[in-house]
Structures are given as structure tokens and as C-alpha cells.
Amino acid sequence: MRRQLAAILAIPTVLNGLIMLVAGPFWYETVPGVRDTGPFNPHFVQDIGAAFLVAGLALAARAWRPRYWPAAVAGAGFLAVHALLHVAILVSGHSHYPAFDLLAIVLPAAVALYSAFPNQGEQHA
């Protein structure tokens, strides 16, 4: 079950990273709340896109080979820290899109972190 969750979450995470890398202005204009953070900075968007791409590939590796779970933990760790930043924004009352933050950022990060760790009895690295 964890490997399937990792596979499912890998898809939007990889796609998000790729879009950030190759179509940053499109990503900047279409993702809710991004424009509220300041002017478009292509280098910054590409840097973060690279992190999302690697996190998604790490989750995909976990889905493909159970022994790659440490890579998935690292990738999910990035997603979790990113989600914690959004939780802090939510708690402070500064989120313009709280439902989006919870459903598109916080929940997937929590599931990614859960899916990254091996099941009992799974092969360990």
C-alpha cells in the first residue's frame, strides 16, 4: 500500500517540478497564492522546481524498488518541511487559500512521508 501511495504522489510532484523548470511563468500565474508572494523570479522557481522533481523521483524510486525507501524519506522530508511552512502561514492567519494549502500541500506531504518508510517485513537498505 505504501509503495502505491508513493507512486501516486510521485506523479504530481514530478509534474510540478517539471513545469516549474520548463514553464516557470505559467506555473507562477496559475498556482493559487504564488503571485501573492512577490514578483516572478525565474531562478528561484527553477531551484524549487529541481527540488520538487528530485522529491518526486525519489518517491517513484520507492514505488519501483522497496529498498530505495531512504531516498523517498529524503524527498518526502522536503515536501514535509515545505508543508510545515504552509501550516505556519495557516496558523498565523495569512493564507489566502487555506483549503488549497491543506489539500494540495499539507495532506500530500503527510501521505508522502508515511509512504516513504518501509512496511514491517519489507526489505531494508
Q: d(Cα 35, Cα 18) in Å, to the nearest integer?
A: 19
- Written as one string, the DSSP assignment of 79-119 is HHHHHHHHHHHHHTT--S-HHHIIIIIIHHHHHHHHHHSPP
pLDDT score recorded for residue 124: 58
pTM equals 0.92
pLDDT score recorded for residue 117: 94
pLDDT score recorded for residue 116: 96
Low-confidence ranges of the chain (pLDDT < 50): none
pLDDT tens track for 86-113: 999 999 999 999 999 999 999 999 999 9
pLDDT score recorded for residue 120: 80
Angle at 19 between CA 14 and CA 21, to 5 degrees: 95
